[in-house]
Amino acid sequence: MATLRILDQCSVSPPKGSVPETAIPLTFFDILWLLGQTVDRLFFYEFHLSTSHFIHHLLPTFKSSLSLALKHFFPLSGHVRPSSSSPDHYEIYYTDGDSVLLTITESEADFEELSGDQPRSIESLQALIPSLTISNGATPLMALQVTVFPYHGICLSISISHIAGDGTSTMNFIKSWASTCFSEATSTVLATPPLFNRSLITDPNNLHAVNLQLIKTFAGLSEKMSSNFESPNDVVFFSTFTLKKDHIEKLKSMVMAKYEKGDRVPFHCSTFVVGCGYVWACLVRSRGWPEERTAYMGFAVDARARLTPEIPAGYFGNCLSFCLAELKVGDIVDEDGVVKAIEALGKAIDGMREDGVLKGAEELPKLFVKLADERPLSIAGSPRFRVYDTDFGWGKPVKVEVTSIKETGAMSIAESGKEPGGLEFGLAFPKHEIDAFQACFTAGLQIKIP
């Protein structure tokens, strides 16, 4: 394995005295993540200069812009603790001087190899990922690592506890930080001003108690849920698959062709729906499951604009509901199985619009017990995050990877960094499963429209 050297470690805080001591209660959306799940996102940038150049010319602005961004996103510098005022409640606590650990490293590894689309073992990427290490009895909510590949590239790895916020929240922080660094500003350039007002989240059905029970259920299922592989001891490989814009348009045309001329497709046939439905169908087909088995796809949905009243877009925290699509394997392996998978996914999402995003939320503990052994495909990320627009002044990333999917067997999704209008999917499975999926994925793109 290539040598990786730690060059520096430092703690970065919001500017001294800029944020008062603050305790932010966790809502029923937040407590779902108390078991410690993190989102690890790697941004790879081309960089054709020396490590010394980065340290002396770029790192000072990188650190100062981080401090300025943390002034507005200060919960990321804090930690979670039990609430002193209410039993079974928790809060994010920040006090002046709380900080984020930033590690600077240098690697001799092959940058092009690590940032490629081909299968790469978890061992090759693990050294690039920081850990949220307990300090003074408290677990931090964010850790950062920059790895310089001299004259080739830079990898910025951001590990954030899901307790702190969902993808909408954390990408707002990352984009604000990047914009501040890019402009070398003396004040933060905010993508969207963050809001921390927890009174915006109401809980008339006592979902706080329901979700506390859910995390207890999660704790009992953690071993099963974290081994979403046929052979848990196999080495996990990351691989990236891209659907080009013309592939997506052909998939949409294939769906349209199912309905007679003049008939309306009975669900919103979006790029997200056809892309995820196609990947789901390929994955199920590659596994060779019995036709009578039920296949599941579950994913989180941003609930901000779907609640009544709506939650502002800048709300910082978790505000996610759960959507589940299911279909018999026999239907998916049929000749028109891809269309059926897309249709099942589209109707599940449309059902949330009609029934409300929190309908059935009190049944989640039972649902997760049911799904524990079913290897559902779940989704991390969203093309709406526009991760490939994250520019710190070094240019746009050549690759963005969500490595935390290795824990669950989920797939990551983003806009394509290479194909305008396309979608990029990241998978983390043992090599033989990656190979089987790739065969189905490639063969299925030979789409013929009736």
State residue 102's pLDDT score: 98
Superfamily name with CATH number, domain 227-444: Chloramphenicol acetyltransferase-like domain (3.30.559.10)
Write down the domain spans for the chain. 4-215, 227-444
- Round to whole Å and give the CA distance between 391 and 331: 43
Residue 46 pLDDT greater than 90, yes or no: yes
- Whether the CB-CB separation of 141 and 158 falls below 8 Å is answered with no
Q: What is the pLDDT of residue 425?
A: 98
Cα gap 138→30, rounded to integer Å: 18
Give per-residue pLDDT as tens, 193-228.
999 999 999 998 899 998 988 887 777 655 554 455
What pLDDT shows up at residue 226?
A: 45
Q: What dihedral do alpha carbons 440, 442, 444, 450 form, nearest 10°?
A: -160
Of 69-78, 234-243, 276-285, 353-362, give the lowest mean pLDDT range: 353-362
Compute the average pLDDT of residues 316-343.
96
pLDDT at 220: 62
Alpha helices in 82-206 (DSSP H): 111-114, 122-126, 167-183
- Long-range contact set of residues 211-220: C-beta below 8 Å, sequence gap at least 24: 211/28, 211/31, 211/32, 211/364, 212/31, 212/88, 213/365, 214/32, 214/364, 214/365, 214/368, 215/31, 215/32, 215/34, 215/35, 217/365, 217/368, 217/369, 218/35, 218/368, 219/35
The pairing of strands 411-415 and 423-430 is antiparallel
CATH code of the region 4-215? 3.30.559.10
Q: What is the pTM of this model?
A: 0.94
Higher-pLDDT residue of 366, 97: 97
**pLDDT of amino acid 430:** 94
Give 139's pLDDT tier (boundaries 50, 70, 90): confident
**What mean pLDDT value characterizes the chain?**
92
Question: Which residues does the annotation mark as catalytic?
Answer: 162, 391
Instruction: Read off the amino acid at residue 351.
Output: G
Q: Examine domains 4-215 and 227-444 and report if their fold is the same.
A: yes
pLDDT tens digit sequence for 348-366: 999 888 778 888 888 877 7
Reported confidence tier of residue 448, pLDDT bands at 50, 70, 90: low
The Cα-based distances of 272 to 131, 413, 420 in angstroms read 31, 9, 14
CA distance 331 to 340: 7
Give CA–CA dist 425/276, Å, rounded.
9
pLDDT at 258: 84
Question: What pLDDT does 204 receive?
Answer: 87
pLDDT tens-digit profile of 222-238?
555 445 555 556 899 99
Q: What is the mean pLDDT of residues 287-302?
A: 95
